[in-house]
Amino acid sequence: MTAPDAGLHLSISNVSKRFGATTVLEDIHLGMAKGELVTLLGPSGCGKTTLLRVVAGLTHPDTGRVELAGRDITRAPPYKRNVGVVFQSYALFPHLDVAGNVGFGLKLRGLPKADIASAVHRALSLVHLERYADRPIRALSGGQQQRVALARAIAVEPSVILFDEALSALDRKLREAMQSELRHLLTQIGATAIFVTHDQEEALTMSDRVAVMYKGRIDQLADPRTLYDQPATAFALSFVGQSLSLKGKVVSSDADGSVVETSAGPLRVPRRFLRGSSVIVATRPEHVTLTAGDNTLTGTVVGATFQGSRSLVEIDAAGTRLTAEMPGRCTLPERGETVIFSWPLSETLSFSGEEHA
């Protein structure tokens, strides 16, 4: 057991959970500072909701420990945790008006009426719904209901707020507007929050750090820029942003790196691997140029599209489809044309092919 860090606001350590024969969470460690916004990002079924439920007290872990604001809450019931939860289905009470919904948790705690009224007003002002206090829930749009759910969660001033796919039900335009608004609001009130999403753009927009989850484990926990520039695994690479990758075998290796023989040709990687091992070589589309360079390949153009600020060139290199991103104003090659293309060694990523095989 690693000891939880005393300086952390929320500390999840060694948490594992099985349902029957299935391991849903495996040795999860996550420490959060006060005021930090962290996203759990991963495909459906990787354990995101289960981890949130462990923090909320709705699921008990088989092993491990959860500490919040210096208190061990691993076995504490949900109502003794001071954790706020916002779900995708807002779970609002249809028979109560907006103020009744927002004040519900405060009423449960037995606060005096006047205190409830001022806390409700403050929470509704934060989400710009102060004029809707006496409206029935059914008279509100989806976006407004989402704000009521948020106001209800922040009204009790929780130590941490959990959002489970909370914006997924909104249409794209509203969702994007809510992302930056929510981030701004949470920063403003100094909230500590965990978001769950399978949408990588949402994760990059909303978070100080992102935990990429895969099959019950945290694959990588990093700030958005590090995650994009230095993905720790082939899964993190493929799940966040666009990338092009080729698989091959290491034919030589020295102190400076290795040469990987792929179906499209040999590629250099700045990392040392055992000769004969399987390696995935990758880069981001924006590092590719249609000239010779460190890692040069030849391919056939299968498509080229102008997209305004950028153009995308799709290339077939010995059967592997790769996408290169060019500046919007560049002269695009013709479909069927043979092109040489390259990317610098410094922008070459490599992963052991055995990882997550």
Ligand X SMILES: Nc1ncnc2c1ncn2[C@@H]1O[C@H](COP(=O)(O)OP(=O)(O)O)[C@@H](O)[C@H]1O
Measure CA 118 to chain center.
35
Interface with ligand X by CB under 6 A: which range of 47-55, 301-309, 330-338, 345-353?
A: 47-55
Interface with ligand X by CB under 6 A: which range of 38-46, 91-99, 222-230, 272-280?
A: 38-46
Rounded CA separation 147/152 (Å): 8
- Judge whether 113 and 172 are in contact, CB under 8 Å: no
Binding residues for ligand X, rule CB under 6 A, total 10
Rounded CA separation 271/279 (Å): 10
| Of the residues 10, 12, 15, 24, which one makes contact with ligand X according to CB under 6 A | 24
Q: Which residues bind Mg ion (CB under 5 A)?
A: 49
**Subset of residues 168 to 207 that bind ligand X, contact rule: CB under 6 A:** none
**From ligand X, Mg ion, none, which one binds at residue 19 (CB under 5 to 8 Å depending on kind)?**
ligand X
CB of 21 to ligand X, least distance (A): 10
Rounded CA separation 353/272 (Å): 14
* Residues contacting residue 273 through CB under 8 Å, at least 6 positions apart: 250, 253, 258, 260, 279, 350, 352
Interface with ligand X by CB under 6 A: which range of 41-49, 259-267, 289-297, 324-332?
A: 41-49
CB of 55 to ligand X, least distance (A): 12
| Of the residues 13, 39, 49, 342, which one makes contact with ligand X according to CB under 6 A | 49
| Of the residues 8, 12, 15, 48, which one makes contact with ligand X according to CB under 6 A | 48
Identity of the residue, 88 or 278, whose beta carbon is nearer to ligand X in the bound complex: 88
Q: Number of helices (H) and strands (E), helices first, in the chain?
A: 9, 19
Residue 45 touching ligand X (CB under 6 A):
yes
Task: Give the other-Cβ count within 10 Å of 310's Cβ.
Answer: 15
Identity of the residue, 58 or 96, whose beta carbon is nearer to ligand X in the bound complex: 58
* Residues contacting residue 345 through CB under 8 Å, at least 6 positions apart: 257, 268, 269, 270, 294, 295
Which residues bind to ligand X, rule: CB under 6 A? Answer: 19, 24, 42, 44-50
